[in-house]
């Protein structure tokens, strides 16, 4: 007798799901996503859980638009590496490849539109983005010193030598570790972590805020 495999849930995550996931990640760490998906009781794939965690729930995740410093860094790094979004994202603590992709897509669309309109280079936004892009094509990013950094977390404080460094020097996980606050005190949106006490009680073998592995 063939049992029909239950359909995995897709689409937007609910706050309850978020809390369950946060609790389970606390419990098991952010590896073995298939296990996390199973243990959490969420009817989601491990892949979906991982994506939700990385792109939204991670304590170090920065929400909101890229700062001007971050934008400049993205432009510079894209000139060097092209569409290696994750690679670029590693240089921007708290940002994900998804952020970079989204930003770049928007930027390219804007540029394309402006070009279509045959706007002269003196046009403000075109001038800003296009010129900076060209500039960074040749100029090192060293000019982005810490001096002009308002956002202390922004990677503009990364030195030119760091940028020149070999890829893999800052694996994504390391970036997270460097910037993340402890899981116990994350800065998650909508008070997810504040409420996770409740959520933990809904996760198998979690009791209140005390999660224990076997």
Q: Which residues sit at the interface with DNA, rule CB under 7 A?
A: 9-13, 31-35, 44, 46-48, 50-52, 55-56, 63-65, 83-87, 97-99, 101-103, 105-106, 109-110, 113, 172-173
Q: Cβ 37 to DNA, closest distance in Å?
A: 8
What distance, in Å, lies between the first and last C-alpha atoms of the chain? 34
Q: Cβ 143 to DNA, closest distance in Å?
A: 25
Q: Cβ 191 to DNA, closest distance in Å?
A: 15
Q: How far apart are CA 23 and CA 173, in angstroms?
A: 19
Q: Cβ 105 to DNA, closest distance in Å?
A: 6
Shorter beta-carbon distance to DNA: residue 139 or 177: 177
Three-state DSSP state, 207: strand
Residue 169, phi-psi category: left (phi > 0), alpha (psi -120 to 50), beta (remainder): alpha
Shorter beta-carbon distance to DNA: residue 10 or 212: 10
Shorter beta-carbon distance to DNA: residue 16 or 98: 98
Q: How far apart are CA 114 and CA 112, in angstroms?
A: 5
On whether the CB atoms of residues 66 and 78 are closer than 8 A, the answer is no
Name the helix (H) or strand (E) containing 206.
strand 206-207
Shorter beta-carbon distance to DNA: residue 84 or 127: 84
Q: Cβ 76 to DNA, closest distance in Å?
A: 16
Q: Which two tokens stand for residue 64?
A: 């909101």
Q: Among 96, 32, 92, which residue's Cα sits nearest to residue 67?
A: 92
Shorter beta-carbon distance to DNA: residue 142 or 178: 178
């Amino acid at each position: 007798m063939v049992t029909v495999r239950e359909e995995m849930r897709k689409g937007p995550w609910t706050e309850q799901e978020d809390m369950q996931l946060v609790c389970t990640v606390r419990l098991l760490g952010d590896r073995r996503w298939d296990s996390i998906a199973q243990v959490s009781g969420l009817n989601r794939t491990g892949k979906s859980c991982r994506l939700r965690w990385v792109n939204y729930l991670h304590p170090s995740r920065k929400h909101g638009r890229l700062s001007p410093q971050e934008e400049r860094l993205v432009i510079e790094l894209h000139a060097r590496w092209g569409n290696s979004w994750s690679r670029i994202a590693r240089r921007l603590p708290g940002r994900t490849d998804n952020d970079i992709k989204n930003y770049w897509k928007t930027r390219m669309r804007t540029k394309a539109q402006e070009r279509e309109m045959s706007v002269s280079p003196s046009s403000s936004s075109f001038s800003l983005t296009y010129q900076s892009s060209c500039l960074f094509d040749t100029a090192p990013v060293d000019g982005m010193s810490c001096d002009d950094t308002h956002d202390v977390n922004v990677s503009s404080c990364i030195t030119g030598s760091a940028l020149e460094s070999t890829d893999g020097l800052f694996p994504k996980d390391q970036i997270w570790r460097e910037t993340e606050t402890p899981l116990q005190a994350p800065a998650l949106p909508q008070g997810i972590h504040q409420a996770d006490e409740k959520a933990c009680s809904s996760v198998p073998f979690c009791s209140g805020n005390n999660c224990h592995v076997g």
